[in-house]
Chain A
Amino acid sequence: MECWHYVEVTKSGQPILRENEKDILIEDKIGLYHGKNRIKNRQSGRLFLTTQRLIYVDDVNPVKYSVCLELDDIDHLEYSSRFLKRSAKVILFLLDMGNLKSGGQSTSKAEGPINEVSTWVCPICMFTNETEGVLTENTFPSPICENCGVPLVYEMTMNTINIIDNKLGNSDSNLEGSGEKNLNACPACTFINHALIKNCEICGARLPNAKIRSHNVNHEDSRVLIELDCKLLRDKSNKNSNLEADFVQFSFRKGDGLLFSQALEKSLEDIKNLRQKNSFNEGIVSINGISIGIKETVELPYLEKRLNKFGITSLENSRETQLANNDILLSNALTDLNQLMSLANDIEKVFKTHMKNETDNLQNKPSFLIDREKFYNKSMFLNEIAREIFQFVITEFKSEKNDDIIMVTLVDLYALYNKTMRIGMGYISPSEMREACGRFEVLGLTSLKLKKLNGRVLCLSSENSFDYINNQIIKLLEDEPGCDILQITQTMNKHSTGTSWTIGIITEVLENCINKGEIVIDEQLSGLTYYKNDIWI
């Protein structure tokens, strides 16, 4: 049961991803099983495969019932295809939590790959080798001697094996008492996180000891309530054993899910590969001035020491070459410095713009990328787009005072949405947007509706927004008769801070008022002005 985690989901039913997390594939109509039993309330939803998690978003109540599964917890998977009434399933075998707890550190496999180094002496050539991890009898494949290339035979080298714990050596000075186990250092950026955190606060990478940690703490997330649907009567012990089941299943009610299982398998593999790779300081050239790998070949001489020539001319010559060399060196240094400065400027610029963006939209950063290629068919894509548009409109046009009054023409929304959300992923077409907006009702997003104003302009609006803006305009014209549309727009937007009523909307509402006879017009050379109709009723 501990494998299920709580996941944050937006009101429109889209998961909020972590930093550095990317989504890969989405599958519709999924049911969840824990062990062999159905999980209650989680039998129809969408399944998101991301680079870090499998996220189940429930169709009925996305905020409450959505759960996720860390890809790190998955050992391997099996795919079983559709057979008669049985729908296709992916069976995920989880890593054994219990084993991890007790034996996780003794296996040389994955945990903390850079923490420990074993040294051993080759029995053939007596060369002292260093191997990452802890060497045991079971280490497979056996490390090979760097000097003579003969693989290690454990029995023969047993005595010489010496295990050095790097971490212990480095850190006992600055953190005593907390114990080295609780040092939750990020394998990617070395930031030492709080002991209970599972993903690095700085870079979002999965922390290596997350599993052990969560197990040690043994806290239960109250937000995740898993109830199994046991159809068959079983005795208690049997039921308990079910709770401890080490596999979960995803059932594909629609479609065969073959593609999904392949994608999942691939991402699992990727994760495993990534884990074995030394992930930080990748592609580095030098650390603290000591170069690694490629050595600097050309060294510029400061002084020509070899004076194998004689006489004053040769001395003068050598002096000149020396000066010339110094010049080259100096100018090289200056260009380097200039480059460094321009780089620094660039970084500063990026930082500044980023800071500005951060402060601008602190709460609504784009959480989720919707890419056409991730969807099997257009309908699913549109559903997802619809959700995103809904969320976008809700957050973008929400005013502080009346957060339920939203009205925006589809044309404006189209431009805004494509410019803010779709850059880099391909714009959606107007007809797609139209169709997506039409799907709100089906997706249970009822607070916004597609309306046709004056029989010609399509608008996305909340229930009472039209009357609201109508009354506002009439009130405004009562106070200040003879406003033109610009003044109306300005005054309307001055009053309400968050929402901006676009000129398109106001034009349409005015048009509607004129048709109803609530407002009369005065046409001059300078343009149209509007008056409240008090006389001709």
Chain B
Amino acid sequence: MSAFDELPKVYYFPPLYTRQVNSLIRRQQIDTWIDLILQYAKSMNCWMMTSEGNLIQTKIDELTGSDSNAIEKKSLFVNETIQRSIPHTFVEEIWTHMVENGKAIRTEHDIESNSVYYIMWKGVDLWSSVILQWFETAVKLNQVVTLYELSQGDETIGWDFHGMPEPLLAKCIKSLCDRQRATIMKDEYGKPVGVKVI
């Protein structure tokens, strides 16, 4: 798998896969893991990961149709080269820390009883400012733009947030709303569909 090859050398350091006893060292170990997850997701251009370390390629809507191809077979948490894997409890600990640090957001969906996380290789605020920047450069201010357009439209190709799942996109835009820069339009089910940035 080419994506694993791009990971830093520390990925092949056996003690990385054992929960270190020393709490100071463990904190750094968890940080290393968070960096690894972010880097991996970014390089694969993925937004979601199951708690077992498998990336999810497709959009969350299609997941409900249980499309198994959408899930990567190989888990980041299993390193076959050195025959190591992280124990389940330690994985939980890593996710907890990641969510606390705002580097991951838990979705409402579960796949095969594993929770799914959005991987935030940029923070929510950073994303919202990137989106705002797009609105400004694309001269879309004071126009209604659908979330689908933002995520999948041709105009956003080349921007980092292209391909971002719509619920996540909505979360990012929500912070723009808090700053009174945007309004979100919802459909009849209360699901956000469009946005107007002032």
The chain A residues found within 8 Å of chain B, CB to CB, are 482, 514-517, 520-524, 529, 531, 533, 535-537
Contacts and interface: CB of A to CB of B under 8 A. Distances in A.
Q: Residue among B15, B19, B20 with the most chain A CB within 10 A?
A: B15
A482 B14 contact: yes
Closest 6 CB pairs of A and B: A536-B28, A520-B15, A522-B14, A523-B18, A522-B15, A517-B25
Contact of A521 (B21, B24, B84): B21
Contacts of A520: 15, 18, 20, 25
A516 B22 CA distance: 8
B151 interface: no
B10 interface: yes
A536 to B, nearest CB: 4
Given A515-B22, A517-B25, A521-B21, A535 B10 contact: yes
A531 B15 contact: yes
Nearest to B24: A517
B32 interface: yes
28 contacts: A482-B14, A514-B21, A515-B22, A516-B22, A517-B22, A517-B25, A520-B18, A520-B20, A520-B25, A521-B15, A521-B18, A521-B20, A521-B21, A522-B15, A522-B17, A522-B18, A523-B19, A524-B84, A529-B14, A531-B13, A531-B14, A531-B15, A535-B10, A535-B28, A535-B32, A536-B28, A536-B29, A537-B28
B9 to A, nearest CB: 9
Nearest to A523: B18
Contacts, number: 41
Contacts of B28: 535-537
A533 to B, nearest CB: 7
Contacts of B10: 535
Interface of B: 10, 13-15, 17-22, 24-25, 28-29, 32, 84
B17 to A, nearest CB: 7
Contacts of A535: 10, 13, 28, 32
A481 to B, nearest CB: 8
Contacts of B19: 523
Contacts of B18: 520-523
Nearest to A515: B22
A536 B25 contact: yes
Contacts of B32: 535-536
Given A529-B14, A535-B13, 9 more contacts: A516-B22, A522-B14, A522-B15, A522-B84, A523-B18, A523-B19, A535-B32, A536-B20, A536-B25
A342 to B, nearest CB: 62
Contacts of B17: 522
A533 B20 CA distance: 11
Nearest to B31: A536
Q: For chain B, what secondary structure do more than half of its interface residues adopt (helix, strand, loop), or is it mixed? A: helix
Contacts of A529: 14
Q: Residue among B19, B20, B84 with the most chain A CB within 10 A?
A: B20
Nearest to B18: A523
A118 to B, nearest CB: 90
B89 to A, nearest CB: 12
Q: Residue among A515, A517, A521, A536 with the most chain B CB within 10 A?
A: A536
A533 B15 CA distance: 9
Nearest to A536: B28
Contacts of B21: 514-515, 521
A448 B133 CA distance: 72
Contacts of A536: 20, 25, 28-29, 32
A515 B20 CA distance: 10
Q: Residue among B14, B28, B29 with the most chain A CB within 10 A?
A: B14
Contacts of A516: 22
Contacts of A524: 84
Contacts of B29: 536
A342 B6 CA distance: 79
Nearest to A535: B10
A515 B25 CA distance: 9
Nearest to B83: A524
A529 B14 CA distance: 9
Contacts of B84: 522, 524
A308 B22 CA distance: 107
Nearest to A529: B14
Given A535-B32, A536-B28, A536-B29, A514 B13 contact: no
A516 B25 CA distance: 9
A520 B14 CA distance: 9
Nearest to B17: A522
A482 B21 CA distance: 17
Contacts of B22: 514-517
Nearest to B29: A536
B33 to A, nearest CB: 11
Q: Residue among A482, A515, A521 with the most chain B CB within 10 A?
A: A521
A482 B19 CA distance: 16
Nearest to B15: A520
A529 B20 CA distance: 12
Nearest to B19: A523
A96 to B, nearest CB: 77
B69 to A, nearest CB: 33
A529 B15 CA distance: 9
Q: Residue among B13, B19, B22 with the most chain A CB within 10 A?
A: B22
A454 to B, nearest CB: 12
A535 B20 CA distance: 13
A321 to B, nearest CB: 91
Contacts of B25: 517, 520, 533, 536
A521 B19 CA distance: 8
A482 B14 CA distance: 8
Contacts of A517: 22, 24-25
A524 B14 CA distance: 10
Contacts of A533: 15, 25
Nearest to A511: B21
B180 to A, nearest CB: 43
B34 to A, nearest CB: 13
Contacts of A522: 14-15, 17-18, 84
Nearest to A532: B15
A521 B21 CA distance: 8
A522 B16 CA distance: 8
A535 B24 CA distance: 13
A507 to B, nearest CB: 14
A482 B17 CA distance: 13
B20 to A, nearest CB: 6
Contacts of B15: 520-522, 531, 533
